[in-house]
Amino acid sequence: MENILPVITGAVLCFVFGFVWYGPLFGKKWATANGKSVEDCSGKMPVKNMAIEFVNCVVVAAGFRWVLMGPHGALAFSAIAALVAGVAFYLTSSVSRNMWAGRSKVLVLIEGGHGIIMLLLLAVLYNFI
C-alpha cells in the first residue's frame, strides 16, 4: 500500500464512530435488544476487546480502501459502493446472525446501520485523503 495514512485515519474514524454509535446514540437500545441492562454494559472497558476491535477497524479500512482505489476521486461511485457493500455484507450478516439467535429487529437495524454508515464515512474520507 502506497500510503498508510488514509488507512490509519479510516481505522480511527471507524473506531470512534463505533464508540459513538454503540454508546450515546444506541447504547441503551443495543443493550436492551441483547437482553442486558445498561448496568451490565457499564464500567471499565476491556482493553483486550478494544485492541481487537481496533485491529478489526484497520482491516475494514484497508480492505475498503483497496476496493475503492480504482476510480480514485469519484465520490458518487464510492458512496454507491459503500451503500451496496454495507447492505450486502453488514446488513445481511446482521439479519442472519440475529434472526437465528431469535434477537430483535432493533438489534438488526442498529448493527446493520452501523456498518452501512461506517462504510459511507470511509468512502467520503477516502475521496479527500
- What would the pLDDT profile of 16-59 be if each residue is shown by its tens digit? 999 999 989 998 998 888 888 877 777 777 888 889 989 989 98
Tell me, what's the pLDDT at 67?
A: 79
Tell me, what's the pLDDT at 1?
A: 47
C-alpha grid cell for residue 73?
476521486
| Counted domains in the chain | 1
Q: How far apart are CA 116 and CA 112, in angstroms?
A: 6
pTM over 0.85, yes/no: no
Question: Which domain covers residue 60, as residue numbers?
Answer: 5-126
Higher pLDDT, 78 or 9: 9
Q: State the burial class of residue 94 (Cβ atoms within 10 Å of its Cβ: 0-12, 13-18, 19+).
A: buried
